[in-house]
Amino acid sequence: MTAVVNVSRRGFLKGAGVATGGLVLGVSVPALDAFGQQVAPAQPGRLNTFVQIDPDGTVTITLTHAEMGQGVQTALPMIVAEELDADWTKVKVVRASAIPVDGMEPAAMGTGGSRSVRANFEPLSQAGAIARHMLLQAAANRWAVPVGECTAQDGVVSHGSGRSASFGDLARGASYLTPPQTVPLKAPSQRRLVGKPVNRLDAPEKAAGTAVFGIDVKVPDMLVGTVVHCPVWGGTLKALDPAPAMAVKGVTRVVPLEASFMVIGTGYWPAHKGAQALKPQWDLGDNAKNSSEKIDAALEAALKKTGAVVVDRGDAGSTAKLVKKKVTATYKAPFLHQATMEPMNATAWWHDGKLEIWAPVQDAGRERYSVAEAFNLRPENVNIHVTYLGGGFGRRIGLGFLRPAVEASKAVGRPVKVIWSREEDMTHGMMRPVAAARLIAGVSADGTPLTWDNRLVVPSVSAQLAPSRVRGGVDEISVHGADELQYAIPNQRLEYAMPDAGAPLGFWRSVPHSYNAFFIESFIDEIAAAAGKDPVQLRRDLLFRNPRHLEVLERAAKESGWGTPPGARRGRGIAVHESFGSICAHVVELSMPGDTTIKLDRITSVIDCGMAVNPRTIEAQIEGGMVFGLTAAMYGRIDVKDGGAVQKNFDTYRMVHMAHLPPVAVHIIEGGEMGGIGEPGVPPIAPALANAIFAASGKRIRTLPLADSGIDFA
């Protein structure tokens, strides 16, 4: 149960960016970091989210989660406003501060794992309902009528006698009341805002160009710098002559670091030009010989050996005699970069033993601690102001992109904004690892898969970022999406190995689901083809234990016109995959005008996210996730050469454009437990596309990106 505390009469909220004068309630939302781990238990007193009603009627909600495009800045206030019965046009958001307020710990700032709306729904609903109850009580007290006779709608409390008062008018009176422990929430049928398509609150400033992203931060007396890392991961800086950079107009300082250097000046261009003028001497180290070939050889070697056993179910031995056919395939997926549209940047100001940071971070709560630890500061002396994020996708987690700005400010004693060039961002990020899987299925005489044997090989993200999540040689972040097979196949085995890649690894929108869905949903199609079954029919036969998945499949088949003849040189491909508590299917319908050229004709998407807070955002997230996955499926690939990344910018790390996209229809299924929406649209698109190419051409592609097999848009 959520504790809601009346903090109207405490003066501390100015520090949290909230002015007082009306009713202010504090809520404690369970604090999860971007890994989904509980940072601190929810306790009364550890407030981290505030709902305020001002005398002028404005309803302000503090936002602890980062807005990176996924729409939390609209969905979270909708949840409060629904139960509050607020006037939506008077609702606004302010960003929460990362520093503790009055000794209370605002730690629920992790944004990742498609989790923000799910974690906040109950606490924010309670906060809204309790605030409404207090406003009703204030009106009842004023009019000397029973509270049960008062009703609220659109920011106004009314009584049958014809009296009414606005929330703003009642806010002060309500601020003296004690909040009730709990208030019953609305039944879904009573909702007026949640579940309805609502336009984003941040839309106007983003269209006007006034939204402030990290790269736009301006602090008085600020300098601008840029960073250049050793081209080899793990290499270090040996020597650097700053003179050529100092000769560039506007350059004020060159700061050498252990494995990188920074050039600082009056603007980005002088800093960049200065950096380009330098001839650093690097100690490239042992990793300089690393290459894609070497990494691929390590994957191949691991594929030949028995790995750590993750799943071993059934008794394959006793079914062996029923198996009439074996289907075997090996799949591969490359390194990928998140390539957020806004390159990495952060602004830092180290002064008087305190550190202030302005940055587009996904998890300010956690980063406050990581920065404090790295720079030997007390966490209470580190404050992070979160800006808009020009995309997150898992890239804006961790200390890596904050550190240069802190080092720069420490060195020059002034605020410094450090902007990474696109090239530095792309070559010194945290990549989605390469992955490979060898799958073997045993199929009965009537075409039923009886055994499923998956040997998965993926270098471990956790080993680099969260070592405690590697247990018994298994990184749970690598195997999700493969460990609980949605299909009812009696004998299942999953083995896993994590060879070292000699490359920095991290999160990438949907993380392991991105490759596991490609492997599994391609292979199930291969089994269907080998068994002479329709791909939807085989899935249907195997989904009887998962009614939600089955409903998603059936809906996708129906909406896409599955089963109607697609026409010559045309095909449809389907894939269904669960991730982050939601189930998503895509059906790709395409033509192949040439042997290797494709034209997408239509994409049908179905998402079961249990409960839809803002369908307009859900459609956008599923379609956007699909485009993100489509880009990776077609083109995405980072190669390794001489110990570093080959692709450095959008000329070689190619993107899907508007002209490539067909009409997309997103269908939403509700009725279960709430799931995420930021990531589930990504995983099923690559297999749906590969399956469609197979349907149209008979060509089965098992390695991503498809461009490596010569596939391109017509």
Partner 1 sequence: MAYSIKVNGAQYDVDADGDTPLLWVLRDNLGLTGTKYGCGIGQCGACSVHADGAVARSCSVSLESATGMEIRTIEGLGSGGQHKLQAAWVAEDVSQCGYCQTGQIMAAAALLANGAKPTDAEIDAAMSNICRCGTYNRIKAAIKRASAQA
Helix (H) or strand (E) holding 48: none
**Contact mark string toward ligand FES, 27..66, x via CB under 6 A:** ----------------------------------------
The reply on whether position 360 binds ligand FES by CB under 6 A is no
Site map (CB under 6 A) of ligand FES, residues 210-229, x = contact: --------------------
Q: Which does 155 bind (CB under 5 to 8 A by kind): ligand FES, partner 1, none?
A: none
CA 175, 178, 182, 183 dihedral sign is: negative
CB nearer partner 1, residue 262 or residue 524: 262
Smallest gap from residue 432 Cβ to ligand FES (A)? 18
The Cβ of residue 694 has, within 10 Å, a number of other Cβ atoms equal to 19
Q: Find the shortest distance in angstroms from Cβ 342 to partner 1.
A: 5
Question: Quick one: what does residue 203 bind among ligand FES, partner 1, none, with the CB cut-off 5 to 8 Å set by partner type?
Answer: partner 1
Q: Which amino acid is at 620?
A: A
CB of 339 to ligand FES, least distance (A): 10
State the binding partner of 202 from partner 1, ligand FES, none, CB within 5 to 8 A by kind: partner 1
Token pair for 452: 């499923």
Specify the pairing of strand 449-457 against strand 435-443.
antiparallel
User: Among partner 1, ligand FES, none, what does residue 545 contact (CB within 5–8 Å per kind)?
Assistant: none
Q: How many CB atoms lie within 10 A of CB 328?
A: 12
Residue type for position 129: A
Among 391, 449, 615, 684, binds ligand FES (CB under 6 A): 391
Residue 658 interacts with which of partner 1, ligand FES, none, CB < 5 to 8 Å by class:
partner 1
Query: How wide is the angle at C-alpha 624 spanned by C-alphas 622 and 627, nearest 5°?
Result: 110
Residue, CB closest to ligand FES = 341
Output the smallest distance, CB 623 to partner 1, in A: 6
> If you ran DSSP here, which 8-state letter would residue 41 be given?
-
Beta-strand relationship, 449-457 and 491-497 = parallel
Q: Is 4 left (phi over 0), alpha (psi -120 to 50) or beta?
A: beta
Binding partner of 557, given partner 1, ligand FES, none, CB within 5-8 angstroms per partner class: none
**Considering the rule CB under 6 A, would residue 502 count as an interface residue with ligand FES?**
no
> Closest separation between CB of residue 269 and ligand FES, Å?
13
Nearer to ligand FES by Cβ, of 544 and 650: the residue is: 650
626: closest CA among 572, 578, 580, 666? 666
Distance separating alpha carbons of residues 121 and 13, to the nearest angstrom: 23
Q: Cβ of 264: how many Cβ atoms within 10 Å?
A: 28
370 contacts 398 by C-beta, under 8 angstroms: yes
- For the CB of residue 215, give the shortest distance to ligand FES in the complex, in Å: 11
Among 341, 374, 445, 714, binds ligand FES (CB under 6 A): 341
Question: Which helix H or strand E contains 608, and what residues bound it?
Answer: strand 597-610
Cβ pair 623, 681 in contact under 8 A = yes
Least distance CB 199 / partner 1 (angstroms): 5
179-195 per-residue burial string, b: 16 or more CB within 10 A, e: under 16: beeebebeeeeeeebbb
Tell the smallest beta-carbon distance from residue 655 to ligand FES (Å).
10
Q: Which lies closer to partner 1 via its Cβ, residue 71 or residue 705?
A: 71
In the complex, the smallest distance separating the C-beta of residue 270 from ligand FES, rounded to whole angstroms, is 18
* φ, ψ dihedrals at 529, nearest 5°: -60, -45
**What is the rounded distance in angstroms from the CA atom of residue 619 to the CA atom of residue 221?**
43
CB contact at 8 A, 8 and 175: yes
Phi, psi of 326 (to 5 degrees): -110, 135
- Which 420-479 positions form the footprint of ligand FES (CB under 6 A)? none
CA distance 489 to 451: 6
Report d(CA 339, CA 427) in Å as an integer.
10
User: 711, 702, 630: which is closest to 664 by C-alpha?
Assistant: 630
Question: Considering CB distances under 5 to 8 angstroms, the limit depending on partner class, which of partner 1, ligand FES, none binds residue 12?
Answer: none
Query: Which of the listed partners (partner 1, ligand FES, none) does 204 bind, with a CB threshold of 5 to 8 Å by partner kind?
Result: partner 1
Gyration radius (Cα) of the chain, Å: 27
Cis peptide preceding 684, ω within 30 of 0: no
Residue 69 binds ligand FES (CB under 6 A): yes
Task: Return the one option of partner 1, ligand FES, none that residue 353 interacts with (CB less than 5 to 8 A, by type).
Answer: none
Here the tokens at position 242 are 């700053």
224 binds, among ligand FES, partner 1, none (CB under 5 to 8 A by kind): partner 1
Q: Cα(549)–Cα(713) distance, rounded to whole angstroms?
A: 31
Closer residue to partner 1 in complex, CB, 329/665: 665
Q: Which does 388 bind (CB under 5 to 8 A by kind): partner 1, ligand FES, none?
A: partner 1
Q: Which is nearer to ligand FES, 168 or 390 (CB)?
A: 390
Residue 128 CB, nearest approach to partner 1 (Å): 23
> Could you tell me the smallest distance in angstroms from the CB atom of residue 689 to ligand FES?
21
By beta-carbon proximity to partner 1, the closer residue of 30 and 390 is: 390
Measured from the CB of residue 84, what is the shortest distance to partner 1 in angstroms? 23
Q: What angle do CA 471, 477, 482 make, to 5 degrees?
A: 100
Token duo for residue 436:
């490979």
Token pair recorded at residue 576:
């269904």
The distance of closest approach from Cβ of residue 362 to partner 1 in the complex, given in angstroms and rounded to an integer, is 12
**Cβ distance to ligand FES smaller for residue 401 or 487:** 401
Pairing mode, if any, of strands 325-333 and 644-645? unpaired
Decide whether 395 or 549 has the Cβ nearer to ligand FES: 395
**Residue 240 token pair:** 């650097």
Q: Name the residue type at position 87.
A: D
Please count the other Cβ atoms lying within 10 Å of the Cβ belonging to residue 387.
24
Where along the sequence are the contacts to partner 1 (CB under 8 A)? 68-71, 199-200, 202-213, 215-216, 218, 224, 249-250, 266-270, 273, 339-343, 388-393, 419, 421-422, 616, 620-621, 623-628, 630-631, 649-651, 655-659, 661, 663-664
Min dist. Cβ of residue 341 to ligand FES (A): 4
Nearer to partner 1, 568 or 659 (CB): 659
Q: Residue 185 or residue 655: which is nearer to ligand FES going by CB?
A: 655
Q: How many residues bind ligand FES (CB under 6 A)?
A: 3
Structure tokens at 370: 């990581």
Q: Considering CB distances under 5 to 8 angstroms, the limit depending on partner class, which of partner 1, ligand FES, none binds residue 250?
A: partner 1
With CB cut-offs between 5 and 8 Å by kind, which of partner 1, ligand FES, none does residue 343 bind?
partner 1
Contact positions vs ligand FES (CB under 6 A): 69, 341, 391
